[in-house]
């Protein structure tokens, strides 16, 4: 049976070494052999665990954030509630349940889910069985109008390009055939690189990453916001200031793995460059709030009170689990600092909850 490795090697034989972005896009999204197309990778039995899978508190607080933000922008009815890359649908199911305290919000919301994986679409449909939802391959088919958009650990899965500094300038990193496997090479000819400030600052050997797909999505969403109103909430691991350094990583069975080994069977992600996200949104006139650290954001939304309420009605074992989950989500040594939260709004909106 043909594998993704066979496909990649054939592609390289025909068109030459692949950009890291082309490699990543095939590894994650190839319709037959791609990582997300062929499995549900999330949770203890999978390769990685995400915040909504750690505790219901995460999705609940995001749901209340959506409802409050909806009220703050004038309670548009109808309004699209959009999630990008909803995984198992857990965040959205918890969010919708929590937001039932504001029935007018629940009535106004039209749910749109952007998801390419057929396996995960089925999981989402099961988790959201009681809600009417429309699925999309990308953001362009979501109908116009006001929208609140949630993206938790979505942008990190989008393909990045990598450039490395040599004595004569910047060269793009590419993936080539190596014996029975694959290896990284550099383009022979130096390429012009943006943003040029980075280029000036970096030492020989330095690597910079750019994520054109993330910038394109943020650009499209920010334009929508400015035209039709709404808000975008981005939660992901990444750096607030951008800069130099390699962050592309492979994860398998909850451990780091080799980026080029087992293509299609390994999760590939890169840190989100929040400075680049902010630039793309500001360029088209949106307001930027944050980024703030995830721990700070969740505490300001009241996660400690929510944990105490849940623990009050729980067994001793459950209470200990709630405490552990709270720490994982908010502690600086766990997800509390590495994960950042940024909101985009139409110009002139007050800061949404968690950003004041």
Q: Give the interface with ligand SAH as residue ranges (CB under 6 A).
A: 28-29, 36, 42, 50, 52-53, 85-87, 91, 114-117, 120, 152-154, 157
SS3 per-residue string spanning 266-306: CEEECCEEHHHHHHHHHHCCCEEEEEEEHHHHHHHCCHHHH
The minimum distance between CB 244 and ligand SAH, in angstroms, equals 26
- CA 339 – CA 327 distance, rounded (Å): 13
Element (H, E) at 72: helix 56-72
In the block, tokens 């965040």 appear at 91
CA 189 to the chain's CA centroid: 33
Q: Which is nearer to ligand SAH, 137 or 316 (CB)?
A: 137
The minimum distance between CB 286 and ligand SAH, in angstroms, equals 21
Q: Which is nearer to ligand SAH, 280 or 346 (CB)?
A: 280
The minimum distance between CB 242 and ligand SAH, in angstroms, equals 22
β 18-19/169-178 pair status: antiparallel
The torsion defined by the Cα of 169, 172, 174 and 179, in degrees rounded to 10, comes to: -10
- ∠ CA 197-203-209 to the nearest 5 degrees? 60
The minimum distance between CB 230 and ligand SAH, in angstroms, equals 19
Residue nearest to ligand SAH (CB): 85
Which segments within the chain are labelled E, that is strand? 18-19, 79-84, 109-114, 133-136, 147-152, 161-166, 169-178, 181-186, 207-210, 230-239, 249-252, 255-257, 267-269, 272-273, 287-293, 339-345
- CA 99 – CA 69 distance, rounded (Å): 12
**Bridge partners (DSSP) listed for residue 207:** 164
The minimum distance between CB 188 and ligand SAH, in angstroms, equals 31
Q: Which is nearer to ligand SAH, 86 or 238 (CB)?
A: 86
The minimum distance between CB 115 and ligand SAH, in angstroms, equals 5
The minimum distance between CB 43 and ligand SAH, in angstroms, equals 9
Q: Which is nearer to ligand SAH, 202 or 233 (CB)?
A: 233
Q: Which is nearer to ligand SAH, 136 or 193 (CB)?
A: 136
């Amino acid at each position: 049976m043909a594998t993704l490795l066979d496909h990649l090697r054939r592609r390289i034989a025909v068109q030459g070494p692949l950009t890291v972005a082309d490699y990543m896009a095939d590894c994650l999204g190839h319709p037959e052999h791609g990582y997300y197309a062929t499995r549900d990778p999330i949770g203890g039995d999978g390769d990685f665990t995400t915040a909504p899978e750690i505790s219901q508190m995460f999705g609940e607080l995001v749901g209340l954030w959506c409802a409050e933000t909806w009220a703050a922008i004038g309670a548009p009815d109808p309004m699209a509630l959009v999630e990008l890359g909803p995984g198992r649908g857990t965040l959205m199911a918890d969010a919708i349940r929590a937001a039932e305290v504001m029935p007018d919000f629940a009535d106004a919301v039209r749910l749109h889910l952007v998801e390419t994986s057929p396996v995960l679409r089925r999981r989402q449909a099961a988790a959201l069985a009681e809600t009417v939802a429309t699925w999309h391959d990308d953001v362009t088919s979501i109908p116009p109008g006001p929208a609140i958009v949630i993206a938790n650990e979505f942008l990190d899965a989008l393909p990045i390009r990598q450039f490395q500094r040599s004595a004569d300038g910047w060269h793009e990193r590419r993936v080539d055939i190596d014996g029975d496997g694959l290896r990284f090479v550099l383009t022979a000819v130096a390429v012009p690189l943006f943003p040029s400030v980075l280029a000036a600052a970096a030492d020989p050997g330095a690597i910079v990453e750019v994520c054109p797909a993330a910038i394109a999505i943020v650009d499209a969403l920010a334009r929508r916001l400015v035209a039709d109103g709404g808000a975008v909430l981005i939660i992901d691991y990444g750096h607030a200031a951008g800069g130099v350094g390699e962050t592309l990583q492979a994860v398998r069975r909850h451990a780091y793995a080799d980026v080029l080994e087992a293509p299609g069977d390994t999760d590939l992600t890169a840190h989100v460059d929040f400075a680049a996200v902010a630039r793309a949104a500001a360029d088209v006139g949106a307001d930027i709030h944050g980024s703030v650290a995830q721990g700070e954001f969740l505490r300001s939304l009241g996660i400690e009170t929510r944990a105490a309420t849940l623990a009050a009605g729980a067994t001793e074992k459950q209470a200990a689990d709630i405490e552990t989950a709270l720490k994982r989500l908010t502690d600086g040594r766990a997800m509390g600092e590495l994960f950042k939260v940024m909101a985009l709004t139409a110009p002139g909106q007050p800061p949404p909850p968690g950003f004041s």
